[in-house]
Copies of this chain bind each other. A is one copy, B any other.
Amino acid sequence: MSTTGSPAPQTGSRPGGRSARVRAAVHRAIKELVADEGGEPLTIPVVAARAGVHATTVYRRWGTVGELLADVATSRFSGDIVVPNTGSLRGDLERYASDLAKDLCDPDTLALVRATIGTGGEQGAAACRGERRQQLEAILERAQARGEHSPTLERTTDAVLAPLYYRAVFTDEPLTPEWAHTLVSHLLPD
């Protein structure tokens, strides 16, 4: 079961070592299982079997399926969208909204968001938001630095981020770039 006489430490193990391989296998198993809709309920033994690792390893490292999903979502949704820098607030927000729309359209991404929301509680929800808040904040701060009048982060979240997530998660309507742009037009009227 163990390659050495004593269990590998959870921290300090070398990158590319056993710990990293287990993490990669478990993350891959989660993504496959989540993408397989009519599949069996997501439990630690099911994930472990798919990943080819011992269930106890998964329990020890992640504790619950919810925490595991939150971990996968965090690594999936952090740094996934480059903050655009087009020179104008409108341009930045339009690019940002259409990039996010495209990302959320991906069936595997959407399945991961839904599964993480379903079992990850607050932690899972935070993982699905990823760095969106910081990304929007960066766009708004840059606009202010240029002297542009910019809405608050709360207002931008309500007007742009919320409809993108709502439409992706709760409806089967398409997230077209045109529609994403209209969200920005309503936030920043001429």
Copies of this chain, how many? 2
Q: Which of A50-58, A88-96, A112-120, A134-142 forms contacts with chain B?
A: A112-120
Q: A117-B169, A159-B163, A162-B167 are in contact. List 4 more A-B contacts (CB 8 A).
A: A38-B64, A118-B119, A125-B170, A169-B169
A168's closest neighbor in chain B, by CB? B125
Q: Show 26 A/B contacts (Cβ-Cβ < 8 Å), sorted by A.
A: A38-B64, A41-B41, A41-B65, A41-B119, A114-B121, A114-B125, A116-B118, A117-B117, A117-B170, A118-B118, A118-B119, A122-B172, A125-B171, A125-B172, A129-B170, A129-B171, A155-B186, A157-B163, A159-B159, A161-B166, A162-B165, A162-B167, A163-B166, A165-B166, A165-B170, A166-B166
Report yes or no: B170 in contact with A186, Cβ–Cβ below 8 A: no
**Other-chain contact of A170, B41, B118, B128 (Cβ < 8 Å):** B128
Q: Does A158 contact B (CB under 8 A)?
A: yes
Residues of B with C-beta under 8 A to A119: 41, 115, 118
Taken residue by residue from 102 to 114, chain A's Cβ proximity to chain B (1 for < 8 Å, 0 otherwise) reads as 0000000000001
Minimum C-beta distance from A170 to chain B (A): 5
> Does A188 sit within 8 A of B, measured CB to CB?
no
Most buried by B among A37, A41, A64, A128: A41
A159 to B158, CA, bound (A): 7
Q: Is A25 an interface residue (CB 8 A)?
A: no
Check A42 for interface membership: any CB of B closer than 8 A. Answer: yes
A42 contacts which of B41, B161, B163 (Cβ < 8 Å)? B41
Complexed CA–CA distance, A43 and B46 (Å): 13
Those 3 A-B pairs whose CB atoms lie nearest each other, nearest first: A118-B118, A162-B166, A158-B163
Given contact pairs A129-B171, A170-B129, A171-B129, A121 touches B162 in the complex (Cβ within 8 A): no
